Structure 1
């Protein structure tokens, strides 16, 4: 009798990237284990052995998404000479990233509905990610206030929430079919609300 061969190895990073894309496109609940195995090119035992569970795979896929795409949005905010330039980049870069032809439209973090699908642990993970984005915008605004770019009277939290809300709205509109140019027009309109900008 021929010896049974060892299980075929697979590229874990490629499989994770495939799972991320599928979750991004379909969401957690609508993505079945069969869908995942098919898109990742592995069988169910291999998936469970490598990632533990569907929930654990989703959490890892979300972390992979943040690691892959966040630097393109957040690093320039800190590097920009002014907060205004940084926020403008945040919105215009979002218009580009949210409408790429090579990825599902919209932001995986913004569009995730796990918090309302009965998956509480994943819901907390997603909310923490969104709150982290808000905190990053608030921190950049506080820095601008401390440096004298923006007035001390600025409502930092309210301003940060407004700009994050615009970016999240861009994500939803991108999923609904809005083009990059249409999202850039949203960004331009939002920047007119920048503190001190002429109305």
Structure 2
């Protein structure tokens, strides 16, 4: 019989998530992970594989437990409500914990070495998936008449992601939730609608 695992896997994943969120993938050492989880390196290897495999498990947990506001927002009735909910959720999450500012998807792969290239690509792919989901949602909004026919859904999706990434960088630098929400409101003030298009046409 194999030896019974002597630690809680979910607790260990949460502890590892906190370290990766705070330090990023490259800067996190096995010493950091063993100290945070209270689990020795051989047991971590046995449970999760190597550091890369552990980080991938952490990303899944981050998306399911912390970034769940994003898929929930896509179900809201209008594109503007979708974006407002995503911006608010990001501002709250990125400033929720004093020792874990910003976004793991954005900061996890910064300044990575060649060894970390697979992780960098995984995070790029994760962000691309989010952008694709937004683009598809905006295309549906366009079909439903919520967005004007002239709206470029690909550009709108990229715009939202660019604002989100900027908010993450600002949060990491210590910008407050109130300021991030004000930035979000400023971004939303330019959101295209049929009524704003009509108003623009009348005033020209």
Using structure 2 for the length normalisation, give the TM-score: 0.88
Return the alpha-carbon distance in structure 2 between the equivalents of residues 12 and 46 of structure 1. 11
Q: 1:15 aligns with which of 2, 12, 17?
A: 12
**1:1-199 matches, cutoff 5 A:** 9-78=6-75, 80-101=76-97, 104-113=100-109, 116-118=112-114, 119-196=116-193, 197=196
Shift of 1:7: 6.5
Using structure 1 for the length normalisation, give the TM-score: 0.90
Shift of 1:103: 6.0
Tell me the SS of whatever aligns to 2:66: helix
Return the alpha-carbon distance in structure 2 between the equivalents of residues 66 and 103 of structure 1. 19
Q: Which runs of 4+ in 1 moved over 3 A?
A: 196-199
| Deviating more after overlay: 68-77 vs 186-195 | 68-77
Count of residues in Structure 1 that have an aligned counterpart in Structure 2: 193
Q: Which runs of 5+ in 2 are unaligned?
A: none
RMSD: 1.9
Q: Which runs of 5+ in 1 are unaligned?
A: 1-5
Q: Which residue of 2 aligns with 1:3?
A: none
Return the alpha-carbon distance in structure 1 between the equivalents of residues 69 and 93 of structure 2. 9
